Amino acid sequence: MNKHQETTSVHAGHEIDPATGALSAPIHLSTTFERHPTGDYPLGFQYSRLENPNRAALEDKMAALEFGTQAAAFASGSAAAMTVFQALRPGDHLLLPNDMYFGIRKLIREVFIPWGLEAAFVDMTDLDGIQNRVQTNTTLILVETPSNPLLKVTDIHAVVEIARQVGAWVLCDNTVATPVLQHPLPLGADLSLHATTKYLGGHSDVLGGVLVARQESELWERIRFLQQNGGAVPSPFECWLTVRGIHTLPYRVRTQANNALRVARFLKDHPQVERVYYPGLEDHPGHQVAAGQMTGFGGLLSFQVKGGQSRAMHAAAELRLITQATSFGGTNSLIEHRASIEEPGTTTPENLLRLSIGLEHPNDLIDDLNQALNGS
């Protein structure tokens, strides 16, 4: 229908309220909806755990933005990921990235492996390695690209081809890239996952998660069943806030990506910086793959500070404009010492800081980083 992401972001799933003419969608708090004398629900809504008008608007918008056929919204990105694993069967084998969002890795290790899933953590940038690790009972390969926090880049289409040999599904965590910069489903992935808490909500004020399906499948039916019957769904107001955030998504993300490249180039030349991880830099090992499957390199980057963990933490503490806080994707730039919040034994380097570029002017961010690094 609409060709351009900016237009889809505003218009998909949106209609003028037929009852009042309101441009901004009403928030439907009602948990229950009237049944027709014939016994039907002609307007499509019955009970809010099953479906709600605000949730339907969010799901329709996400399906359109990701070129999927259906979407399912959840109360958090983690709840969305949990639902995929719950939809699998004990004895199923999973391949997961060795650099990935640590909360999901924790759920796999502490809940789903004891529950009967088999899981192997592999380097998703090494296609031969993936090929060697798939088994006949591999049912799902999860890719996260760019990954959090090391910004590793995985070739989505190449992983899809390996997965198809054994009939495995591919789930792509597209949170860092957003639908503005990367479309996993046209590349062949079966599902894309978003923590809408990050760029889609975009203002650090609403948690949420969404799964989008390329097409209907047995797996999708189980996911929808778990969403509607398990009930880890977002409230109408949370859906409304996320939809409101998506209206400006393409403009925010492109600005954040442009500014992240400027900050990454500045950090790369700074004498106190050991290494910068940003796929937009030409010497990033995943730069070519990223350039081939993304239309920009995103607003998230990481860097290692010379002198170890204490120098890195000190530099973060010296920042005035950039806030030390977890999460990313909002209007305010955030920095985080990642190893100290991840679980013990994490592979994240101890002197690594992850930086989420907000919507401030990039020169002000560069000045702030410069004073903090020089003073540390």
Ligand X SMILES: *Cc1c(COP(=O)(O)O)cnc(C)c1O
Which residues are annotated as catalytic? 49, 101, 173, 198
**With helix as H, strand as E and coil as C, how does 97-124 read?**
ECCCCHHHHHHHHHHHHHHCCEEEEECC
Q: What is the C-alpha separation between 144 and 316, in angstroms, rounded?
A: 26
| Least distance (Å) between residue 201 CB and ligand X | 9
Indicate the residue among 260 and 273 with the shorter CB distance to ligand X.
260
Q: How far is the CB of 148 from ligand X (least distance, A)?
A: 5
Distance CA 224, CA 222 (A): 5
Residue 46 vs 323, nearer CB to ligand X:
323
Residues 136-163, buried b or exposed e (16+ Cβ, 10 A)?
eebbbbbbbbbbbbbbbbbbbbbbbebb
Comparison of 212 and 372: residue with beta carbon closer to ligand X? 212
Select 81 or 365, whichever has its Cβ closest to ligand X. Answer: 81
Owner of token pair 């599902």: 191
**Nearest C-alpha neighbor of 250 from the set 200, 188, 322:** 200
Report the alpha-carbon distance of residue 7 to residue 173 in Å, rounded.
Answer: 24
Smallest separation (angstroms) from ligand X to the CB of 325: 13
Q: Measured in whole angstroms, how far is the alpha carbon of residue 54 from the centre of its chain? A: 21
Residue (208 or 296) nearer to ligand X, CB = 208
Q: Which residue has the tokens 């709600």?
A: 52
Cβ proximity of 96 and 121 under 8 Å: yes
Residues at the interface with ligand X (CB under 6 A): 76-78, 101, 103-104, 144, 148, 173, 175-176, 195, 197-198, 207, 209
Residue 76 Cβ vs ligand X, minimum distance, rounded to whole Å: 3
- In the complex, least distance from residue 68 CB atom to ligand X, rounded to whole angstroms: 18
DSSP assignment of 160-190 equals HHHHHHHT-EEEEE-TTTHHHH--TTTTT-S
Closest residue to ligand X, based on beta-carbon distance? 77
Residues 6+ away with beta carbon under 8 Å from 123: 97, 98, 129, 152
